[in-house]
Amino acid sequence: MKNELIVVCGGGGFIGGHLVADLIRRGHTNVRSVDVKPLEEWFQVSEVAENVVADLKERTNCKMAVRGASEVYNLAADMGGMGFIENNKALCMLSVLINTHLLQASVEAGVERFFYASSACVYNADKQVSEDVIPLKEDDAYPAMPEDGYGWEKLFSERMCRHFREDFGLTTRVARFHNVYGPFGSWDCGREKAPAAMCRKLTHARATGNHDIEVWGDGKQTRSFMYIDDCLKGIDMIMHSDVTEPINLGSNELVTINGLVDMVAEIAGIEVTKRHKLDAPKGVNGRNSDNTKIQQYLGWEPGVRLHDGMQKTFAWIEGEYAAKQRLSVAGQST
């Protein structure tokens, strides 16, 4: 059914842009990409897709966006890295309007399948107090104590998807993303996450010769990071599965933030001195994905090792950094 309309909400964002490109690569000919940002600010713009600029917090725009759609992917949210999330809780919470109005509009439009991009930030904070983390299972979201602001919005929206499935018959699928990274995303605007931030910092260090690297927190906090290609495959499998419960979608390859810095330094080919900023936002002390259920249900596991994915990400950010420097020099000379 390659000609049925697929709508990607948040298509101007990092994951959404990759999803649109992936759908088109796989032969889908009728893709509508919707984002609130002006088109020139989208990370990727497909010439094949129908590209729509609209604020999906408005119900009228949601009705327009999903009209005629067979499938809807909701990746639209006001979010970023930990620095943005901890300092913009109200803005993150307002994204609940997007999912609410999209679900209502999808029921009215007769949409067949609805995908919601949730987050590991829904998990109970008491399960994430130690760097020696026990991987988070899906049941660990309750009793509820998610990340303040962003995590509460995600958890509430998960429940809304469940009840729209139960009450209105809309087929909904929910994936809990664990730190997705890769090219074509935020890297220098304050919304970037740790992998992109480290690539930017190490690129700048190599370009300037100043090898002092600021690290938020003590660097002992542990995380797992999933490369975008693995994320796209997981989204497709979950969307078209019979799995009705929210399910983890992430890597279980654990790394400390200090270890991530060392990895990127090795990729950059330089030695660095870490300067730990202990009063900076650092999130929970430990978080990792338990992939038991997705392996059991779908036979999925990530195929890209962190070092390989970081090499690709570093190369892209290095190119973006160089392009920005050239523009800056050209601007100063005019």
Instruction: Please identify every residue annotated as catalytic.
Output: 150
Residue 304's contacts (CB-CB under 8 Å, 6 or more residues apart) are: 227, 229, 230
**Which structure tokens are listed for 77?**
């949210």
CA-to-CA distance for 56 and 260, rounded, in angstroms? 35
Nearest to 45 by CA among 25, 82, 71, 17: 17
Ordered DSSP codes for 74-122: E---S--SHHHHHH-HHHHHTTHHHHHHHHHHHHHHT-SEEEEEEEGGG
25, burial (CB in 10 Å: exposed 0-12, middle 13-18, buried 19+): exposed
Query: Is residue 45 within 8 Å of residue 38, measured between CB atoms?
Result: no
Looking only at Cα atoms, what is the longest distance across the chain?
63
CA-to-CA distance for 224 and 255, rounded, in angstroms? 6
CA-to-CA distance for 168 and 179, rounded, in angstroms? 32
